[in-house]
Amino acid sequence: MSVTNAGPGKSVLLEVKGLKKYFPIRRGLLQKTVGRVKAVDDVSFVLNRGETLSLVGESGCGKTTTSRCVLRAIKPTAGQVLLSDNGEMVDVATVSKSRLRALRRQMQMIFQDPFSSLNPRMTVFDIVGEPLLVHGVGNVEERKDRVVELLRLVGLRSEYMRRYPHAFSGGQRQRIGIARALALNPRLVVADEPVSALDVSVQAQILNLLLDLQERLGLTYLFVAHDLSVVKHISERVAVMYVGRIVETAPTEALFESPKHPYTEALLSAVPKPDPRLRSDRIVLQGEVADPANTPPGCHFHPRCQYARDICREKAPVLEEIAPNHFVSCHRARELTLRGVAHH
Amino acid sequence: MQNPNKPLLSVRNLKTSFFQDEGVTKAVDGASFDVFPGKTLGIVGESGCGKSVTAQSILRIVDPPGRIVEGEIVLTRKDGTEADLVKLNPNSREIRQIRGGDIGLIFQEPMTSFSPVHTVGAQLTEAVMLHNAVDKKEARRRGIEALRSVGIPKPERRIDEYSFELSGGLRQRAMIAVALSCDPRLLIADEPTTALDVTTQAQILDLLRKLQQDRAMAIMLITHNLGVVAEMADDVVVMYLGRVVEEGKVDDIFHDAKHPYTKALLQSIPSVDSVPRMKLPTISGSIPHPFNRPTGCPFHPRCASFMPGRCDTAAPPLLPAGPGRKVSCFLYE
């Protein structure tokens, strides 16, 4: 049993250690491997029971690949994904198929697009009840009772059970997707961009529902998102990713108010604020996100970083604890004073 | 010089409907607003509010079975004459001169807006040659210049590449280059940054602002993102289910919203500067299906200030509510 980095009174549900996922680039007739896309490159984090950790970053930063590796929807190249199962830490990355099947009851997923993630030919009863059927839980009557209970839990009327997905709005469909994820009483829920496809006026409803369910059911969320304002509303801790690596992780408040990594600072500054009086002198990053198949030497962020020094071009920084629970991977983290967002 | 107080584009009581077998969808149901020279008008609303169909109506590119049923769209052209775009034949020479010539357009998805089998340069020079009497060589020179002006590095090389060889940010820049290649006085930007990452979005918004200053060009910015509107717009039009519910200066809309929909929308959006893990106020229900349009005010089933017998029987007109303000709500009659 390994319990590391857990604060007092907290117990670890998930620990990811040195996770790597490289995709080969194949070319030519013989499909020779000519390079590797380092989608996830040495990522480690801990998720405590009942907590919400968000992985945030821009497209191609590896946040979704990380979440898929956690569920072993794809097999990682290297590293461990330790999930607590009755007090024992089991490595999801290497566990046998049969054990994995049992573990999957404890970890479920909420998808981004409520339009493509529900089978249009299945009724709501079939969709929400499918995990129960697959894992052989209960008979038809018991499954029906459970589906009724789940629909109520997510704020849908149980009469809707016989309808097909097309009869529902985007927000209602996302509720159906959440009900399906909760069918087996999971402990870990991975939510990949669960509100980004929804209308603004519906996003708040779903965010509130997720907070509610967490309180009532003691769920642990691994939340994957690109929208920093959504992340701020749901998370206790945030990990910022850039080109396959975590560059900063901290409690939500600390990360937003006093970011320590220049990329976090730029990301926060780039978010348009819904207040015309805050039209600020934004930090506009030059250039583009580095190519994960051909990463720059040293710190991945140095070609776009306004604070870069020679050392940043030569040596890759490592994650260091700079304040309690605040980890940063930047050579200059201790000397820089960076701009966060102010409270209102 | 153009008169800054005279609208460049004036839309009056525009109604565009889609006539399908299942019924008639009133995508735009009586929208009115003005776009002033050199200013940015933000049109904000959620899906189904008619913001994109409004843009399509202006350019007369509404696909059948949709058509403009009523209204006026008056554009002051480059030569000072006025044209009512509703009266033009959508295939006429005049509207084709206006598209691209007087009004430039950029879309949300730069990937699908470019042809994948033609180079960026071919599509760029095509636009230049269509609107100007220049030869191929001159068109290419102007094309390279246009790419340079939108901040694309090594434009001499990029012009011969295909759109799929460019990253999302560069592709959107190329799209802007095409739209601006004939010096339009109005740029319609339909969700120009929605498909982009937040740091790329900041670059593109910055670029649009710079280009607007250099060219004194008006921008009609269509978006669902209230943050983008707050950053960019001078004036704001809020739409819901095909109707303008409120319009005003950007500061008035964000700090003194009048319509219950605008108020509720502003309260319900998560923001980076709010307290973490706080429950957000929500708008109940969801946007109704276009075939189930509510009677009276389209927002009444979701409205916190709903007055039975009033809001569900008649649609409130858009009436002045203070200097530069208009609101469509019975609370302000």
pLDDT of residue A152: 94
Q: Which residues share a beta bridge with B188?
A: B105, B220
Our CA dihedral for A245, A250, A256, A261, rounded to 10 degrees, sits at -40
**pLDDT classification of A2: cutoffs 50, 70, 90:** very low
Q: A98: distance to nearest CA of chain B, Å?
A: 38
**Which pLDDT belongs to residue A1?**
37
How far away is chain B from the Cα of A341, in angstroms, using its nearest Cα? 6
- pLDDT band of residue A343 (cuts 50, 70, 90) is low
Q: How far apart are CA B108 and CA B223, in angstroms?
A: 9
Tokens of B231: 């950053």
- Judged by a CB distance cut-off of 8 A, whether residue B268 touches chain A is yes
In a mutational test of the A interface, the residue from B108, B209, B254, B273 whose CB has the highest number of chain A CBs within 10 Å is B273
- Cα B53 from chain centre: 9
Instruction: Please judge whether B276 and A233 are an interchain contact, meaning their C-beta atoms are less than 8 angstroms apart.
Output: yes
Residue appearing with tokens 């004939």: B182
User: DSSP 3-state helix, strand, coil percentages of chain B (rounded to 5)?
Assistant: 35, 25, 40
Where does residue B227 rank: exposed (0-12), middle (13-18), buried (19+ CB within 10 A)?
buried
Burial per residue of B291-319, b for 16 or more beta-carbon CB atoms within 10 angstroms, e otherwise: eeebebbbbbbbbeebeeeebeeebbebe
Instruction: Look at residue A5 in the predicted model and tell me its pLDDT.
Output: 47
| pLDDT for res B280 | 86
Structural tokens at position A47: 């998720």
Q: At B271, give phi and psi (nearest 5°).
A: -135, 150
Q: Are A243 and A294 in contact (CB under 8 A)?
A: no
Is residue A8 predicted with pLDDT exceeding 80? no
Residue type, A41: D
Residue B292 near chain A (CB below 8 Å): no
A287-297 mean pLDDT:
85
What value does the mean pLDDT of chain A take? 90
pLDDT score, position B254: 94
Q: What is the mean pLDDT of chain B?
A: 89
Shortest Cα distance, chain A CAs vs residue B140, angstroms: 25
Q: Which amino acid is at B317?
A: P
Mean pLDDT of A42-48: 94
State how far the Cα of B180 lies from the Cα of A230, in Å rounded to an integer: 34
Residues of chain A with C-beta less than 8 angstroms from the C-beta of B282: 201, 204-205, 208
Q: Give the mean model confidence (pLDDT) for residues A62-76.
A: 93
Residues A19, B194: Cα–Cα separation, whole Å: 31
pLDDT of residue B231: 93
Q: What is the pLDDT of residue A4?
A: 43
**Between helices B120-131 and B136-149, what is the axis angle to 10°?**
110
**Residues in a beta bridge with B41:** B220, B235
Mean pLDDT over A25-45 rounds to 88
Instruction: Count Cβ–Cβ pairs < 8 Å, chain A vs chain B.
Output: 159
Helix, strand or coil, per DSSP, at residue B268: helix
- DSSP E strands in A12-113: the ranges are 12-27, 32-48, 52-56, 78-85, 88-91, 107-110
* One pLDDT digit (tens) per residue for chain B, 333 residues: 567 788 999 999 999 999 988 888 899 999 999 999 999 999 999 888 898 899 999 999 999 899 999 999 999 998 889 999 999 998 998 998 898 889 999 887 766 788 889 998 898 898 888 888 888 899 999 899 889 888 888 888 889 998 888 888 888 888 888 888 888 999 999 998 887 888 888 888 999 999 999 988 999 999 999 999 999 999 999 999 999 999 999 999 999 999 999 999 999 888 888 888 888 888 888 888 878 889 999 999 999 999 999 999 999 999 999 888 999 999 988
- pLDDT tens, position by position, B92-109: 989 988 988 899 998 877
Q: How far apart are CA A37 and CA A39, in angstroms?
A: 6
Closest by CA to A240, choosing from B301, A15, A231, B248, is: A231
Give the CA angle between residues A328, A331, A332 to the nearest 5°: 90
pLDDT at A72 over 50: yes
Instruction: Answer yes or no: is pLDDT of A167 > 90.
Output: no
